[in-house]
Structure 1
Amino acid sequence: MAGTVARVTEITARSDTSFEDAIQVGLARASSTVRNITGAWVKEQKVELSDGAVVAWQVDMQVTFVLED
């Protein structure tokens, strides 16, 4: 019987630029230690404020990767 098994892990990433950059930073870091990443789901987006201005963007993601045989 052939098939594929995947695993999902949750990560959090931050950026001082944007949500898109936080996603890129998180996926780049995850792919440095995890192989076969096939997708990610951004569960939450948050910002950090200082004196009413946004100073950091954060994303919580579930990253899916296929397990090797």
Structure 2
Amino acid sequence: MKNHTYKKIELTGTSDKSQEAAVENAIEKASQTVDEMGWFEVIETRGSIKDGTVAQWQVVIKVGFTLKG
């Protein structure tokens, strides 16, 4: 088994649909520039309210990825 070194970055995803969509949006965007992503952990969830309803979800996640080399 090969030993790996990992790094974690923090991202905030947003969505007007759901918490899950906010996470997916953050990961999809990060995947455009970050390779070897392997896991995420939800750190914080918050949102905004407009006219008495949820207007937008904001989810802070940490994403782990394998360092190359």
Quickly name the TM-score band, shorter chain normalised. over 0.9
Q: Kindly report the root-mean-square deviation, in angstroms, between the aligned alpha carbons of the 2 structures.
A: 0.8
Partners in 2 of 1:11 and 1:20 — Cα distance?
14
Q: Report the AA paired with residue 52 of structure 2.
A: G
Q: TM-score, normalised by structure 1?
A: 0.94
Partner of 1:31: 31
The alpha carbon displacement at 1:3 in A equals 1.5
Partners in 2 of 1:50 and 1:68 — Cα distance?
44
Q: TM-score, normalised by structure 2?
A: 0.94
* Residue identity (%): 32
Dislocated runs of 4+, deviation >6 Å:
none
How many residue pairs match? The answer is 68
The alpha carbon displacement at 1:68 in A equals 0.3
**Any unmatched runs of 5+ in structure 2?**
none
**Any unmatched runs of 5+ in structure 1?**
none
